[in-house]
Amino acid sequence: MGKSFNVAVVGATGAVGIEMQKTLEKRNFPVKNLRLLASARSAGKEMQCLGKTWTVEELTHDSFKDIDVALFSAGASISKEFAASAVKAGAVVVDNSSAFRMDPNVPLVVPEVNPEDIKWNKGIIANPNCTTIIMLVAVKPLYDLAPVKRIVVSTYQSASGAGAKGMNELWEQTKVVLNGGKAEPKVFKWPYAFNVFSHNTDIGANGYNTEEMKMVNETKKIMHDDGIGVCATCVRVPVLRSHAESITVEFDRKVTVEDALAAWSKAPGLTIVNDAANNHFPMPCESNEQYNVLAGRLRYDLSRDNALAFFVCGDQLLKGAALNAVQIAELL
């Protein structure tokens, strides 16, 4: 028998927390004991995982005794308040929020891209933003062929990025509209059913929203390359759980479509969906509940030398969140 670990899931009853539990189970993570932590109102709830029933406990600063790995997915404010207590108790925190991503003392890791950065953690490892993860799984194999000068990306982001409440809003509004009613926004500012709108984060002085700047800054940190230019446009679309992204990458020299496809075919965590004859390319409905990012629609950018354009899809709750966190725990 190999070593097994005591694992805590913070935010256990949320959309990502539930996927973390499913992922630990599906990937046979060596769990000795599982501690499910959430707010006081969820305490006492029973959840099934690893063939057992576990009772959700209220998250406190004393929740981490004997825990080896703590998977956090309860938002930045909770991470900022409780992560230090977990580290003090001897756990390594894998944090799915934005709390520590840009902290220079915290590794920001996509296991297929920069696994070596895990080695210098001081007790906390950050999970990047879902859109950044999904993009870089496809960009990294191409970056290894030739340095990347510039990335232009437009996202088509699903409701799951706003958790269970976001998914529920899309679901309920769609039913209302289909029955002749009017969508009444509660979680989002704008109607979600049959609508597309700019990502629901604050717009900064430079005209970019917080989500877009996450993609800019996190890409530079993960790739260890401050020279990469990133221009992002982040948009919510009425899809339940997988994010899609239209990406154009400009290199410092020509990269052929053939070389790019060959690099993708050997890349971890990536499935090529590039059937031009049947107009079959990555779609959210085919990436749902899949661990791999789907990549395709690969072609030359006709407007620019040394540039390729392509399309990717990835399950926001899995590779964009829960799976990436569990993969980090596996590397630990």
pLDDT tens over the chain, length 332 residues: 579 999 999 999 999 999 999 999 999 999 999 999 999 999 999 999 999 999 999 999 999 999 999 999 999 999 999 999 999 999 999 999 999 999 999 999 999 999 999 999 999 999 999 999 999 999 999 999 999 999 999 999 999 999 999 999 999 999 999 999 999 999 999 999 999 999 999 999 999 999 999 999 999 999 999 999 999 999 999 999 999 999 999 999 999 999 999 999 999 999 999 999 999 999 999 999 999 999 999 999 999 999 999 999 999 999 999 999 999 999 99
User: Do residues 162 and 65 share a domain?
Assistant: no
Range of the domain at 298: 132-316
How many other CB atoms sit within 10 Å of the CB of residue 301?
A: 15
User: Do residues 172 and 310 share a domain?
Assistant: yes
Structure-token match 């959840």, residue found: 47
Per-residue pLDDT reduced to its tens digit, 50-102: 999 999 999 999 999 999 999 999 999 999 999 999 999 999 999 999 999 99
- Rounded-to-integer distance, Cα 318 and Cα 241, Å: 10
pLDDT of residue 196: 98
Quote the tokens at residue 104.
């220079």
Report the CATH number that the domain containing residue 143 is assigned in CATH: 3.30.360.10
State the catalytic residue, choosing from 49, 199, 243, 313. Answer: 243
Reference 131, options 18, 241, 211, 19; nearest CA is: 211
SS3 of 9, please?
A: strand
User: Do residues 17 and 155 share a domain?
Assistant: no
Give the pTM: 0.96
- Rounded-to-integer distance, Cα 231 and Cα 212, Å: 8
State the catalytic residue, choosing from 130, 199, 234, 313. Answer: 130
User: Do residues 145 and 215 share a domain?
Assistant: yes
Domain total for the chain? Answer: 2
Contact 286, 190 (CB under 8 A): no
pLDDT of residue 2: 74
Contact 274, 298 (CB under 8 A): yes
User: Do residues 119 and 261 share a domain?
Assistant: no
User: Do residues 194 and 45 share a domain?
Assistant: no
| Dihedral of alpha carbons 146, 273, 25, 77, sign | positive
User: Do residues 268 and 232 share a domain?
Assistant: yes
User: Do residues 162 and 292 share a domain?
Assistant: yes
Contact 84, 124 (CB under 8 A): no
Q: N- to C-terminal Cα distance for the chain? A: 18
User: Do residues 28 and 155 share a domain?
Assistant: no
| Dihedral of alpha carbons 217, 266, 24, 87, sign | negative
Can 224 be counted among the known catalytic residues?
A: no
User: Do residues 294 and 269 share a domain?
Assistant: yes
User: Do residues 289 and 216 share a domain?
Assistant: yes
Instruction: Look up residue 68 and give its amino acid.
Output: D
- Rounded-to-integer distance, Cα 321 and Cα 313, Å: 14
Report the CATH number that the domain containing residue 21 is assigned in CATH: 3.40.50.720
User: Do residues 118 and 137 share a domain?
Assistant: no
Can 243 be counted among the known catalytic residues?
A: yes
Sheet holding 5-10, edge to edge: 57-58, 31-38, 5-10, 69-72, 92-95, 124-126
